[in-house]
A and B are shown apart, each in its own frame.
Chain A
């Protein structure tokens, strides 16, 4: 994965960048499988590696496949992103360790979901139970967000096509 990222940053050929981004998504999906998050891995593989690669290729078809030479020096953005990364990593130091049962997130509602979830919803996949039942409002919101995003794309691209026709 680190190798893919280095080549992604160095490469000037956008076609190679798109394919490598797909490869990165697949590797990320395998990492998620290793973390036992199969639902997320499935989403990553189908959306990240599948559909977004196709959409990127479609966008690439509309423009040149070589990246233009940068106009500005990259030092300021580089320093800014390194500063943000250092801050974020410093923030993670305060979090409880990975898979630590004592951490607050595992003490609040998780025991109830794990012990009562199957009894209350009859759905053995806890992820589905939490997503669709306990957190039903959140998922309704997410679906609305997906719908809004689609409607936004339709509104933007359709107007441009109509301008071109007359």
Chain B
């Protein structure tokens, strides 16, 4: 599949837009449909698409495995530390009202970081599972 010109060109055209759409879903999730989970899945799907067309080794070079593994934990830690930040600033755990001077701004800020955490974990896990499956197929080939 590596030599298929049409697939390669179309993939190169599409992948930036898929990533952009993932960011749109992430940051516009407050106003339109979407949010961290969907954005994480779409971003992971873009990388999986890249791996399907250009091969797993290239995708691994672009998004290396240690990064993916640390993303899995980093997202949960981001989510948890939003809760801790609320605790440190004098509220309850996961209390967003204290994160800014204005309670509404605090809510917006809390929701934003929570969604970022969800997106990071979800896309890390999806990519890791895909890498694992694809890698097993290659091992069996050799």
Contact = CB atoms under 8 A, between A and B. Distances in A.
Contacts of B34: 39, 42
A154 B85 CA distance: 30
Given A42-B25, A161-B136, A51 B94 contact: no
Nearest to A118: B104
Nearest to A140: B79
B108 A121 contact: yes
A125 B30 contact: yes
Contact of A153 (B30, B33, B128, B137): B128
Interface in A135-155: 136-137, 139-140, 142-144, 146-147, 149-151, 153-154
Interface residues of B, number: 54
A80 B33 CA distance: 39
Contact of B128 (A129, A143, A150): A150
Nearest to B133: A58
A55 B133 contact: yes
Contacts of A125: 29-33, 35
A24 B107 CA distance: 38
Interface residues of A, number: 47
B115 A128 contact: yes
A142 to B, nearest CB: 8
Given A39-B34, A125-B33, A133-B111, A157 B136 contact: yes
Majority SS at the chain B contact face = helix
A123 interface: yes
Contact of B114 (A38, A50, A139, A158): A139
Contacts of A137: 94
Nearest to A39: B33
B98 interface: no
A122 B108 contact: yes
B38 A46 contact: yes
Interface string B100-142: 0001110110110011011001101110111011111101100
A132 B115 CA distance: 7
B107 A120 contact: yes
A147 B129 CA distance: 11
A133 B35 contact: no
A123 B111 contact: yes
A146 B104 contact: no
A96 interface: no
B121 to A, nearest CB: 5
A43 interface: yes
17 contacts: A42-B38, A43-B38, A46-B38, A123-B30, A124-B31, A132-B36, A132-B111, A132-B114, A143-B121, A143-B122, A147-B73, A147-B125, A149-B125, A151-B72, A154-B132, A160-B136, A161-B135
Given A143-B121, A153-B132, 7 more contacts: A50-B45, A58-B130, A62-B140, A125-B35, A132-B35, A133-B107, A151-B72
